[in-house]
Chains A and B, each alone.
Chain A
Amino acid sequence: MTNTSINEFKNFLDNYALGPKNEDIDVADYGGNEELGSTSIKQILSLYGINKYTILDFSTGFDLRNPIPGKKFDFGICMDLLEHVSNPFIVSKNIKDNLNKGALLYVTVPWVWPVHGDPEKYFDYWRFAPDGLKELFNDMEEVVMYGSRDSYVPDEEVPKEAFAPDPPYMRLIGVFRKI
């Protein structure tokens, strides 16, 4: 998660109503991780009066490759997760099935970004063009989709094996509604 992605998320919350009353909204953060920025997301949500926040991730005991047990959610966040799953078709379906009808899903994926990941925990498999992200959520309503240039510049030179283009790096942001 970067400063740009956090600002983009705030912009999204400023522009889209998640439901009649924010305090009632049950939020799922798919692939969220306390060590990788979810604390910031939780804080931002609380500024909007949203306090029901659940992380569904390996780090909290959920394997998103399997159907997600338990309750369904009113709003989903899926930030910079799908490039790290070996089969994004399966994970995107499990996420969609875990949302209540009418729920919005806020998705970010990298478009131009160095290869990254933690070889002991997760790999980096994919980049997504708009057509690809639409395909993954093709049975949800596409609310909006836009690109975002990130202000992130690596502190150190990116290792050669990351095959990085020069910054600026770019993300794709999509908002979908469960129908």
Chain B
Amino acid sequence: MTIISLQELAAFLNTYKVSGRIADYGGTSEIGARIVRQMLGFEDVGIKEDLVDDMWVGLVMGSAAKETVPTYHPLDYNNGVDLLLPIEGEPYDAGISMDLLEHTSQPFIVAENISNSLKPGALLFVTVPFVWEVHNYPGDYWRFTPQGLATLFPKMKQRASKIIRDQSPEEELPRTRIVAVFQKI
């Protein structure tokens, strides 16, 4: 998760105003999950990068606290959910899947499980890398073009899709990621 991907999430939340139960598929990094959870609590949310004592900190800002805050449900190995299996429980009102799908050996299965765990009409915010160095070895399998990402979600309608450059350390590839919004039919 990078500052740019969190800014894209903020833009998604401001545009679509999701509510209810929000699933964060692969929501695993403690810092990332905390920031996402905070973002859900504000109207017109934004995020700013800052350095405090040489540590990167993402500062969440919003115009006002929401009256009804969506509930946040991280679904990941770390909290006992195997996304290769059907996701149990009540379907979710919206979903977030940030930089998850490149790390699964079976992206078609995981994408189907994600689709099936959402209510009809639910929105799904997805980010995946298109150009990015291999990371988290072992377990970094794929990169996706916009067409590839759409192919993983045949039960969903694509509402938006774009490719953006991300910040790249000098010695690494020029990082590029896809940001897309799908809606369960």
Contacts and interface: CB of A to CB of B under 8 A. Distances in A.
B141 A115 contact: no
A101 to B, nearest CB: 25
B147 A129 contact: no
User: Residue among B108, B134, B138, B141 with the most chain A CB within 10 A?
Assistant: B141
A58 interface: no
Contacts of B144: 125-127
Interface string A136-172: 0000000000000000000000000001011000000
Interface string B159-178: 00001000000000110100
B108 A124 contact: no
Given A135-B105, A165-B173, A124 B147 contact: yes
Contact of B142 (A124, A126, A163, A165): A126
Contacts of A89: 108
A115 B174 contact: no
Contacts of B131: 112, 127, 163, 165
B151 A86 contact: yes
Interface residues of A toward B: which range? 20 to 34
Contacts of A131: 105, 134, 137-141
B143 interface: yes
A128 interface: yes
Interface of A: 86-87, 89, 111-112, 115, 123-132, 135, 163, 165-166
Interface of B: 102, 105, 108, 130-131, 134, 137-148, 151, 163, 173-174, 176
14 contacts: A86-B151, A123-B145, A124-B147, A126-B143, A126-B148, A129-B143, A130-B134, A131-B105, A131-B134, A131-B138, A131-B140, A135-B141, A163-B176, A165-B176
Given A125-B144, A132-B142, 17 more contacts: A111-B143, A115-B146, A123-B147, A124-B145, A124-B148, A126-B142, A126-B144, A126-B148, A127-B130, A128-B142, A129-B102, A129-B140, A129-B142, A131-B138, A131-B141, A135-B141, A165-B176
